[in-house]
Amino acid sequence: MSAVITASGLSKRYKSSLALDNVNFQIAPGRIVGLIGPNGAGKTTALKAILGLTDFTGQLNVLGFDPRKQRDKLMGEVCFIADVAVLPRWIRVSEAVDFVANVHPRFDRAKCEAFLARTKLQPNQRVKQMSKGMIVQLHLALVMAIDAKLLILDEPTLGLDILYRKQFYQHLLEDYFDENKTIIVTTHQVEEVEHILTDLMFIRDGKIVLDADMDAVGERFIEVMVNADKADAARQLKPLDERQVFGKSIFLFDGANRATLEQLGETRRPSISDLFVATMKGTYA
């Protein structure tokens, strides 16, 4: 199948800074891609470009559309949840459902009402009377009832408590995602999405510094727990990162020989957050 998103030479300059610097990537259908980067790395700009919310230079093809020229057509196939509280404060639950049901051709009202029935939301309730968690529940119910090909989540669980956060991703996986859909998610709570991602993209200073599927990440990056006596030997192999835990050193290697590392100590797959911290070292320095 052809790619859902193809970007080549994608650049975006704000007045003083380059938010996207000649970025190239492809996203295939049926993937869950984590777009992860420090604050100000260009994540949101990349998503805005994909959604046709901002101008840019370079080539970008989303589901066969040019987001700059065909935003309204594109949005028939794409759904978007930005960080919480972007639903208008005056709208009632029933009005939101009515409105989306009548303007979106791919909206399944029964499905949406089934999702809402699992929450405490009342049809007459206004968004301004809801907690952050409830607003996200409403937004998610609206979005999951749309049979879209691409779902874009920009910090969707920001400011939610752990119950809502767990529920959010659980609903997405159980009731929404299938092989015909693609999800792109940006978040700082990396641990929460780690187990659902199929692909990983790190972005730093407007450049993609890592673009790989999770299996490849597991192959390429290896973490070794090394006793103090072998630490110098490990350092010889040019680790990406080193940290100390309980008197042992933990080294992170990129593309090193697995057999060699196993002789140094216990190897394991690094967590995405450790990998992220190692890759982004010195970002704010």
Residue 185 or 278 with smaller CB distance to another protein: 185
Q: Report d(CA 46, CA 186) in Å as an integer.
A: 10
Residue 91 or 277 with smaller CB distance to another protein: 91
Site string for another protein, 53-92 (x = CB under 8 A): xxx---------------xxxxxx-xxxxx--xxxxxxxx
Nearest distance from C-beta of residue 88 to another protein, angstroms: 4
Nearest distance from C-beta of residue 49 to another protein, angstroms: 10
Please list every residue from 125 through 144 that binds another protein, using CB under 8 A: 139
Establish if 149 lies at the interface with another protein (CB under 8 A): no
Q: How many residues bind another protein (CB under 8 A)?
A: 35
Please list every residue from 89 through 108 that binds another protein, using CB under 8 A: 89-92, 95, 98-100, 102-105
Nearest distance from C-beta of residue 118 to another protein, angstroms: 22
Q: In what order do the strands lie in the sheet with 78-81?
A: 78-81, 150-154, 182-186, 32-36, 199-204, 207-213
Nearest distance from C-beta of residue 48 to another protein, angstroms: 7
* DSSP H helix total and E strand total for the chain: 11, 13
Long-range CB contacts (within 8 A, 24+) of 18-21: 18/205, 18/206, 19/45, 19/206, 20/45, 20/46, 20/49, 20/56, 20/206, 21/205, 21/206, 21/207
Q: Which of 63, 35, 36, 67 is nearest to 51 (CA)?
A: 67
Nearest distance from C-beta of residue 177 to another protein, angstroms: 18
Nearest distance from C-beta of residue 112 to another protein, angstroms: 14
Q: How far apart, in Å, do the first and last CA atoms of the chain sit?
A: 42
Q: Which of 43, 101, 115, 107 is nearest to 77 (CA)?
A: 107
Collapse the DSSP code of 201 into the 3-class scheme (helix H, G, I; strand E, B; otherwise coil) and give the result: strand
Nearest distance from C-beta of residue 37 to another protein, angstroms: 15
Residue 77 or 254 with smaller CB distance to another protein: 77
Collapse the DSSP code of 19 into the 3-class scheme (helix H, G, I; strand E, B; otherwise coil) and give the result: strand
Establish if 18 lies at the interface with another protein (CB under 8 A): no
Establish if 124 lies at the interface with another protein (CB under 8 A): no
Residue 47 or 201 with smaller CB distance to another protein: 47
Amino acid 100 reads: V
Residue 95 or 242 with smaller CB distance to another protein: 95
Burial of residue 242 (number of CB atoms within 10 Å: 0-12, 13-18, 19+): middle
Structure tokens at 104: 């979106």
Residue 78 or 250 with smaller CB distance to another protein: 78
Site string for another protein, 37-56 (x = CB under 8 A): -------xx--x--x-xxx-
Structure tokens at 173: 């996986």
Residues contributing to the site for another protein (CB under 8 A): 44-45, 48, 51, 53-55, 71-76, 78-82, 85-92, 95, 98-100, 102-105, 139
